[in-house]
């Protein structure tokens, strides 16, 4: 996810910044000016030595993605996690550049040092620049992952794999999360994902969270655990969670606590046939986004200071 935006004009002056995961008090005390000066100096050095411009920089646990306007009077920098898609971040930073120049080209040329001239750019940034986190729903046939997907409207077919299986993505509007207005939900068969992991490498590298949907009965849990043991080493960054479906089958279903103990993965009990099934799964998604996205990014930013 994008966590920070810096816009720096000639002379290394930071004219706009946005730290998505800082409180107003923390933002006032942030390291943006220091970081902005460092990135500007590094970019200038690269141009003097190599005759070119920096396009990306890896620093600790973040990528800094650069873009410049045509006249090179401003530098636009987006900070993402090192595992995020650079292609998507590059598209966003170009959008940022084009909109900022279209709005403020005259103010940039006559910049007096008053950063409040650009404060109203916050609205555009919050509506358009965030990259929604991706949750990947995986599981065997018949465990309920498609039922969960169907609770939410709209869909996009990302592609067909070599066996003509559709990879479906759905946008889900969310509220109550800091600067996040949408998440994306994708669905892939668990056995297919494990057996053809090289084919799905891109999805494993760019996903933020993997939710394993399982029937809570013993037979499915055994197979799912075997698949999970093969899948886990293939995933470098994404967090795992288990959605233990069919909890309504009291005589056959294992309790979520037992499943969590067996897998050593945070497990949520669920029943896709209950009247509040949509509200329940939505609350699960919100909780895991808070744990695996917001809290982790804040922790990484604190390590920078």
The most confident of 15-19, 129-133, 228-232, 301-305, by mean pLDDT: 228-232
Q: What is the pLDDT of residue 27?
A: 47
| Structural domains in the chain (count) | 2
Cα angle at 200 between 173 and 269, to 5 degrees?
Answer: 50
3-class SS of residue 161: coil
Residue 82 is encoded by which pair of tokens? 């090192």
* Tokens coding 175: 């509220």
> What pLDDT shows up at residue 22?
58
286 and 145 fall within a common domain: yes
- Looking at the structure, tell me whether residues 166 and 54 fall in a common domain: no
* pLDDT for the residue 47: 47
Domain that holds residue 31: 2-130
Distance of alpha carbon 108 from alpha carbon 43, whole angstroms: 19
Q: Are residues 32 and 97 in the same domain?
A: yes
pLDDT tens digits, one per residue of 155-174: 676 665 566 566 778 888 88
Based on the fold, state whether residues 73 and 92 are members of the same structural domain. yes
Residues linked to residue 188 through DSSP beta bridges, in sequence order: 138
**Do 126 and 142 have their domain in common?**
no
Q: Name the domain boundary from 104, 130, 156.
A: 130
Which of 130, 165, 186 delimits the end of a domain?
Answer: 130
Are both 222 and 147 inside the same structural domain?
yes
Token pair for residue 269?
A: 């009990």
List the single range of 5-9, 23-27, 203-207 with lowest mean pLDDT.
23-27
Residue 235 confidence (pLDDT): 92
Domain end position, chosen among 114, 130, 146? 130
> What mean pLDDT is predicted for residues 133-144?
92
pLDDT tier, 3 (very low <50, low <70, confident <90, very high otherwise): confident
| The pLDDT of residue 204 | 87
Higher-confidence residue of 64 and 256: namely: 256
Q: Is the pLDDT of residue 221 over 70?
A: yes
Q: Residue 137: what pLDDT?
A: 95
Q: Is residue 106 within 8 Å of residue 157, measured between CB atoms?
A: no
More confident residue, 114 or 100: 100
- pLDDT value of position 26: 46
Q: What DSSP character marks residue 291?
A: I
Q: Which pLDDT score, from 0 to 100, does residue 59 have?
A: 64
Q: Are residues 207 and 154 in the same domain?
A: yes
CATH number at residue 109: 3.30.450.70
Instruction: Give the mean model confidence (pLDDT) for residues 174-184.
Output: 79
Q: What is the pLDDT of residue 109?
A: 80
Claim to verify: residue 19 and residue 68 sit in the same structural domain: yes
CA nearest to 142, candidates 272, 55, 54: 272
Q: What band does 148 get if pLDDT is binned at 50, 70 and 90?
A: very high
pLDDT of 153 higher than 70: yes
Between these two residues, 256 and 73, which has the higher pLDDT value? 256
Do residues 123 and 233 share a domain?
no
Same domain, 167 and 296: yes
Its pTM stands at: 0.72
Q: From CA 272, how far away is CA 166, in angstroms rounded? A: 22
Same domain, 191 and 263: yes
């Amino acid at each position: 996810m994008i966590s920070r935006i810096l816009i720096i004009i000639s002379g290394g002056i930071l004219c706009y910044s946005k730290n998505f995961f800082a409180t107003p008090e923390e933002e006032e005390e942030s390291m943006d000016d220091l970081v902005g000066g460092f990135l500007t100096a590094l970019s200038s050095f690269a141009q003097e030595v190599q005759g070119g411009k920096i396009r990306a920089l890896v620093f600790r646990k973040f990528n800094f993605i650069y873009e410049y306007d045509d006249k090179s009077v401003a530098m636009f920098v987006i900070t993402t996690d090192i595992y995020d898609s650079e292609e998507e971040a590059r598209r966003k930073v170009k959008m940022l550049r084009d909109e900022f120049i279209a709005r403020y080209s005259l103010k940039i040329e006559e910049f007096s040092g008053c950063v409040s001239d650009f404060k109203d750019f916050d609205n555009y940034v919050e509506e358009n620049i965030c990259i929604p986190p991706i949750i990947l729903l995986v599981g065997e046939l018949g465990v309920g992952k498609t039922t969960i997907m169907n609770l939410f409207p709209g869909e996009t077919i990302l592609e067909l794999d070599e066996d003509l299986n559709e990879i479906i993505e759905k946008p889900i509007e969310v509220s109550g999360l800091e600067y996040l207005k949408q998440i994306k939900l994708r669905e892939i068969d668990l056995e297919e994902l494990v057996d053809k992991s090289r084919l799905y490498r891109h999805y494993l590298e760019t996903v933020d969270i993997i939710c394993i949907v399982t029937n809570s009965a013993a037979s499915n849990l055994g197979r799912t655990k075997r698949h999970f043991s093969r899948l886990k080493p293939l995933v470098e960054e994404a967090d795992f969670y288990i959605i233990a479906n069919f909890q309504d089958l009291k005589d056959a279903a294992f309790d979520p606590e037992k499943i969590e103990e067996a897998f050593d993965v945070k497990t949520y009990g669920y029943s896709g046939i209950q009247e509040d099934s949509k509200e329940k799964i939505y609350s699960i998604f919100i909780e895991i986004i808070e744990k695996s996205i917001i809290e982790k990014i804040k922790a990484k930013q604190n390590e920078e200071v």
